Amino acid sequence: MPPMKNELAPARWQLQPGDALLIVDVQNDFLRGGSLAVPHGNQVVPVLNRYIGAFVAQGLPVYATRDWHPERHCSFRAQGGPWPSHCVAHTRGAEFAEALLLPPAVSVISKATSADRDAYSGFDGTDLDTRLRAAGVHRLFVGGLATDYCVLNTVRDALQLGYDVMLLSDAIRPVEVQPGDGERAEAEMARLGARSITLHDMAA
């Protein structure tokens, strides 16, 4: 008997050469007690640690973006921007979460480093695309914070640049300035071609 085609059955996936993990902005200021804490943001950390373990076990590369703002960044309220001051370069708030088990070989990408310009995407103004191409990456597994800002914009650029994108739906959380922003962002990423997966659906 052929297997039943069930639209509700979770899509199985497995890692292969050319895959990379891209962890977006898991920094203290976006976590509990931080200046721009994402609701339930801490919950992504243990899940991302398990993804990291799977990638490292397969010898696949891990990339981590960080918001890395100058002290008077244009996105801060004191400068007329929409956000409280956050992720100022070299401060504790800009450090990656201590509980996030980044491997020693992690490739770190700093973004939004110019005072007069914001950048939500990890590709915006960085050499991320160059680094990924040099490493032969063509499929990106993307998780982190926040779903409706930096994850959304990073995924949009990745798809635009021709990468296959696997959205780690169990390892993202939204800011939700407006209720529903998180769901809308996920729907938009799916519409653009990102595939949503969870750790649970990883083929053994």
- Enumerate binding residues for ligand VGL (CB under 6 A): 25, 67, 75, 83, 145-146, 149-150
Residue 87: active-site member: no
What residues have CB less than 8 Å from 7, skipping those under 6 apart?
none
Residue 150 contact partner, candidates ligand VGL, Zn ion, none, CB within 5 to 8 A by sort of partner: ligand VGL
Per annotation, catalytic residue among 19, 29, 67, 111? 111
Residue 13 pairs with which residues in a beta bridge? 202
Helix (H) or strand (E) segment spanning residue 129 = helix 128-134
Cα–Cα distance measured from residue 127 to residue 161, given in angstroms and rounded to the nearest whole number: 13
DSSP-assigned beta bridge partners for residue 168: 197
Of the two residues 12 and 77, which places its CB atom closer to ligand VGL in the complex? Answer: 77
Of 25, 118, 157, 170, which one is the catalytic site residue? 25
User: Which partner in Zn ion, ligand VGL, none is near 165 (CB below 5 to 8 A by kind)?
Assistant: none
CB of 24 to Zn ion, least distance (A): 12
Residue placing its CB nearer to ligand VGL in the complex, 88 or 146: 146
- Interface with Zn ion in residues 45-84 (CB under 5 A): 67
- The two structure tokens encoding residue 57: 């076990």
* 88 contact, one of ligand VGL, Zn ion, none, CB 5-8 Å limit per kind: none
Catalytic pick from 67, 87, 148, 150? Answer: 150
Concerning whether 150 is annotated as a catalytic residue, the answer is yes
- Cα(36)–Cα(86) distance, integer angstroms: 6
Question: Which of Zn ion, ligand VGL, none interacts with 146 (beta carbon under 5 to 8 A by kind)?
Answer: ligand VGL
Name the binder of 149 from Zn ion, ligand VGL, none, CB < 5-8 A by kind: ligand VGL
Q: Which is nearer to ligand VGL, 9 or 177 (CB)?
A: 177
Report the nearest approach of Zn ion to the CB of residue 75 (Å). Answer: 5
Angle at 126 between CA 121 and CA 131, to 5 degrees: 110
φ, ψ at 110 (rounded to 5°): -90, 135
Measured between alpha carbons, how far is 30 from 40 in angstroms, rounded to an integer?
A: 10
Please work out, in degrees rounded to the nearest 5, the angle formed at the alpha carbon of residue 11 by the alpha carbons of 9 and 16.
160
5 an active-site residue?
A: no
**Cβ atoms of 110 and 66 closer than 8 Å:** yes
What is the binding site for Zn ion (CB under 5 A)? 67
| Residues forming the active site | 25, 111, 150
